[in-house]
Structure 1
């Protein structure tokens, strides 16, 4: 089954945390898809990926660009994955109706938003029942800590 990690954001916003996780994804030789629920967040993520200082930027694309299959990071409002990414990042309480095509799924949620925390708990329960391997990561002063 797919490995699914829930990333509880407590110290930064998603546009601050996501580039670090995507940098590690690319460094490991993997491609990623990022599914957003709203266009403003997709645009904010797009801008954040251009501003990354290490590496100098994170190559990415979204609907409307040529050769989407060549993009290391794909940003989408739908469930498209033209780059055949094995890693999926879910933002804004998105869920995947079928997570099995992915090796890993990263579910990032805002720990300061009670509705987002409640929605993440519901997704956790649903995915656990489906038999996926789940992990919970909480943002700490220095990085992420996995809770057992």
Structure 2
């Protein structure tokens, strides 16, 4: 059974939230794989994670090199593979969750400003409730997270 966290982005965009969540993941000693909905978006997030803060370094890579992928603490991908043996899987930019087996935690981030993303999150919520501990977190205008369900 995986712990599944839904993050409903309202006040801050993905680019502000994802690096913080990845930092916390690495602080816990976990590896992460971030599944992105498109190659173009994966490229943009890859560039952003190198420069999002002057005083931080978030080690990560793009999937595509089998030997290097296995060593990455954070790996960006557009498919369902887990080449770095991650224990946490992030779904962003409308990537659709599939199998949760093998992960301690699933993190599903979606924009509250995109009606299609909200509709897809509702479908994912229903699908992932079976056999998983699911919680739903929504941002307040201040950016603070409030648990709304689960």
TM-score, reference length from structure 1: 0.92
Instruction: Please say if residues 5 and 134 of structure 1, whose CA atoms lie closer than 8 Å, have aligned partners that are also in contact.
Output: yes
Q: Distance in 1 between matches of 2:78 and 2:28?
A: 25
State the 1:64 CA deviation. 3.5
Task: State the alpha-carbon separation in 2 of the partners of residues 144 and 47 from structure 1.
Answer: 26
Tell me what 1:41 maps to. Answer: 41
The 3-state SS of whatever aligns with 2:93 is: coil
Change (3 A) 1:142 1:63: closer
- Structure 1 unaligned blocks of 5 or more: none
Map of 1:84 onto structure 2: 85
Give the count of matched residue pairs. Answer: 147
SS in 2 for 1:79: coil
Report runs of 4+ in structure 1 exceeding 2 Å deviation.
52-55, 63-66
Question: Which residue is 2:116 aligned to?
Answer: 115
Deviation at 1:14, TM superposition (A): 1.1
Instruction: Return 5+ residue gaps in structure 2 as ranges.
Output: none
**Is structure 2 residue 68 aligned with structure 1 residue 57?**
no
Verify the 8 A CA contact 1:16 1:48 in the aligned structure 2. Answer: no
Residues 1-148 of structure 1 aligned to structure 2 (within 5 Å): 1-53=1-53, 56-65=56-65, 66-128=67-129, 130-140=130-140, 141-148=142-149
